[in-house]
Amino acid sequence: MAEPLVTAPDTVHLIRAKRDGQPLTEAQIGWLIEAYLGGEVADEQMSALLMAIYFHGLDQTELRAWTSAMIDSGERLELAGVGRPTVDKHSTGGVGDKVSLVLAPLVAACGAAVPQLSGRGLGHTGGTLDKLEAIPGWRALLSPAEMLAVLREVGCVICAAGPGLAPADRRLYALRDVTGTVESIPLIASSIMSKKIAEGTAALVLDVKVGSGAFMRAETDARLLAQTMVTIGAEEGVATSALLTRMDTPLGRAVGNAVEVEEAVATLRGEGPADLVAVTLALAREMLRLAGLDADPAAALADGRALAAYRAMITAQGGDPDAPLPVAAHSRPILNAPASGWLRKLDAYAVGVAAWRLGAGRALKEHPVNPAAGVLCLAKPGEWVERGQPVLELRTDDESRFTRAAEALTGAIEVGAEPPAASSPIIDRVNL
């Protein structure tokens, strides 16, 4: 008697099942991702399924299968031969978040290998690759062999993810972006973790931002996202933890591309703003803990080892660490304090939108950015300001952009007779 033929799942059946809140099996999810990449499942069908997931979520078994299928859709990097324990960091994105530029060389200076595959900015949040591309000659696009060579030579590399890593995620993210399904915690978590796990790192620390300038504005949502990603990492054999960090006000004083590189280098010289230094050192300590290294990142920052590693990384990727950075043709002080008092609020989202409108960000992935555009925070919450004192300085190469950037800043500051309550930029640590 002949064995029965094994038939492929019916895509419409899977859509209906998820629409009605029924879980999908590992086999169904594996087939679905492979069939979508192979053109057997149409965009409109996958869009319907993504919307069903947006409303009904994925249980832990489904999420594990979904993430594994995206990892298996491409290649995995092999980092065992780099000669150091590997550990990476991922941020969910914020305003003025130039932490990676300081953190990767800092942790490398402490003995780890940091293979940081980064992305570009979209909307009000900046992208690490956009910032570094303000440096003349620096290359984001490296082949896997080039990436490994820099990692072995320097101990850290920041570059773009190649097309072979989790290609299913690239297609699904583009679809989510145009179908209103980006804001789904299971889909966000699997998107981030599939790329990081495919990258091959042994350990991972997540910087999950919370506040007005973050993707997750509510701490409860940020905590759930952090816990979900930490669980995925553990299930895939990657030592993973997360820090919840504040993003109600810009991190540091510079928001943009070249201006953030300048501030990152100043931080590596020991001249960084306190909030940026605090977040960077907290993440560095967590990365070194997971990597099993007993080292003091504050000492590596103070004695110049981190700066030396940064300069070596930039040089290894074709950049000139001594080259002048782009400077905007026009600058304008703005947002005068309405009274003398303590600056109590400087809204991160408003500043991020202003920087975006000045040209520092993009509305679509294919749009270019202006490396010189950005915003400088002349005062930060907790500092005293005099009446009429400008709180921000806008920079751009196109004067016509000032008007719309200023419009984004309506209501962005608050000045009062009492300073704001002191709070640490680190909210909590999330691990298993």
Taking a C-beta distance cutoff of 8 angstroms, is the pair 258, 374 a contact?
A: yes
Q: Is 66 within a domain?
A: no
Report which residue type is found at 230: V
Pair (159, 279) in one structural domain: yes
pLDDT at res. 3: 40
pLDDT at 2 > cutoff 70: no
pLDDT at res. 51: 97
Q: Is 205 within a domain?
A: yes
What's the pLDDT tens digit per position in 288-309?
999 999 999 999 999 999 999 9
> Which of 404, 255, 397, 401 shows the shortest CA–CA distance to 330?
397
Pair (307, 216) in one structural domain: yes
pLDDT at 8 > cutoff 70: no
331 in catalytic set: no
Pair (282, 336) in one structural domain: no
> Which of 248, 226, 215 shows the shortest CA–CA distance to 124?
215
367 in catalytic set: no
Pair (405, 302) in one structural domain: no
Q: Is 363 within a domain?
A: yes
What's the pLDDT tens digit per position in 44-103?
999 999 999 999 999 999 999 999 999 999 999 999 889 999 999 999 999 999 999 999
Pair (104, 185) in one structural domain: yes
CATH number at residue 294: 3.40.1030.10
Give the residue-averaged pLDDT of 322-338: 97
Give the residue-averaged pLDDT of 328-341: 97
98 in catalytic set: no
pLDDT at res. 39: 94
Domain tally, the chain: 3
Q: Is 39 within a domain?
A: yes
CATH number at residue 392: 3.90.1170.30
> Which residue among the candidates 56, 89, 170, 176 is catalytic per the annotation?
176
pLDDT at 5 > cutoff 50: no
Domain region containing 20: 11-56
Provide the CB-side half-sphere exposure for 254 (13 A, CA): 21
Q: Is 429 within a domain?
A: no
> Which of 96, 100, 132, 156 shows the shortest CA–CA distance to 325?
132
269 in catalytic set: no
What's the pLDDT tens digit per position in 174-211?
899 889 998 899 999 999 999 999 999 999 999 999 99
Pair (219, 291) in one structural domain: yes
pLDDT at 220 > cutoff 80: yes
Q: Is 388 within a domain?
A: yes
> Which residue among the candidates 195, 253, 305, 395 is catalytic per the annotation?
195
Average pLDDT along the chain: 94
Pair (268, 198) in one structural domain: yes
Q: Is 422 within a domain?
A: no
Pair (228, 304) in one structural domain: yes
What's the pLDDT tens digit per position in 375-432?
999 999 999 999 999 999 999 999 999 999 999 999 999 999 999 999 999 999 999 8
Give the residue-averaged pLDDT of 219-238: 97
Taking a C-beta distance cutoff of 8 angstroms, is the pair 190, 235 a contact?
A: no
> Which residue among the candidates 68, 91, 100, 191 is catalytic per the annotation?
191
Pair (173, 198) in one structural domain: yes
Taking a C-beta distance cutoff of 8 angstroms, is the pair 412, 351 a contact?
A: yes
> Which residue among the candidates 18, 64, 90, 305 is catalytic per the annotation?
90
Q: Is 385 within a domain?
A: yes
pLDDT at res. 178: 87
Task: Give the contacts of 407 (CB within 8 A, at least 6 positions apart).
Answer: none
Report which residue type is found at 110: C
Pair (130, 156) in one structural domain: yes
Give the residue-averaged pLDDT of 153-168: 93
Pair (291, 337) in one structural domain: no
CATH number at residue 29: 1.20.970.10
Pair (312, 334) in one structural domain: no
Give the integer Cα–Cα distance in Å for 85 and 239: 12
What's the pLDDT tens digit per position in 36-52?
999 999 999 999 999 99
pLDDT at res. 410: 96
Tell me, rounded to whole angstroms, the distance of Cα 166 from its chain centroid: 17
pLDDT at res. 59: 96
